[in-house]
Amino acid sequence: MILAIDVSGSVDAFEARLQRDGYVAAFLDPVIINAIPTGPLGRIAVTYFEWSGFGQTVRTTGWILLSSVEDAQAFATRLDQAPLVRGRFTSISGAIGYSLALFPESPYRGPRRVIDVSGDGPNNTGPHVDFARDEALKNGITINGLPIINDRLQPFGLPQMPDLDLYYENCVIGGAGAFIVVAESFVDFGSAIRRKLILEIAN
């Protein structure tokens, strides 16, 4: 499972931290920790990176196999201690393209490959997002989404995209069992990612 987190210009430092903290709390949550060994394979392989414009990605962890409480806690600690990064533009297509290159380098093999994309706006740089999505689907990869609804103005004074959840459904996600979980705000991100991870781990 690849966890791809939006830190573009429409995400301020506080909101970036809320997303990171949401993942840290999720992998320390007893419900998720207990779900991992009871899932289809009893373990999951994960890697985490943050993205913004096309070609702008910072990888926080390599591929890590989680099969125990200690594994999940160590992963959460690495996320918590890594420095936060920021970018300017929003390239969901770039995040998907970067993800495609990460799967071949994983030392772990499983029956399901998933890219988990969170974001608060549409693709605005790089290739069309549906082109990147379709390339992932051709390779048997599932893309799930966590659109973050946010009604405040962007830093440049522009309004946020209305119906971002529909944009994610129509343009971003795809593949076997693909779904979205909507975060109604950045504050809601932690509970939304918890729900989403439980669904993904349970397959």
Is-contact 25 190, C-beta < 8 A?
yes
Mean of the pLDDT values across residues 77-98? 93
DSSP string, 126-146: SS-HHHHHHHHHHTT-EEEEE
Q: Where are the domains of the chain?
A: 2-202
- The residue among 155 and 56 whose pLDDT is bigger is 56
pTM of the model: 0.93
Secondary structure (3-state) at 29: coil
In this prediction, residue 200 carries a pLDDT of: 86
Mean pLDDT to the nearest integer, 35-57: 91
Per-residue pLDDT averaged across 30-44, rounded? 87
What is the side-by-side order of every strand in the sheet holding 44-51?
57-66, 44-51, 2-6, 114-119, 142-147
Q: Nearest to residue 87, comparing CAs of 6, 175, 176? A: 6
Average of per-residue pLDDT values in the chain: 91
State the Cα–Cα distance between residues 182 and 7, nearest whole angstrom.
17
Least confident of 123-132, 172-181, 186-195: 186-195
For residue 154 the two structure tokens come to 């962007």
Position 52 scores a pLDDT of 95
* Architecture of the domain delimited by 2-202: 3-Layer(aba) Sandwich (3.40)
Report the distance separating Cα 22 and Cα 28, nearest Å. Answer: 10
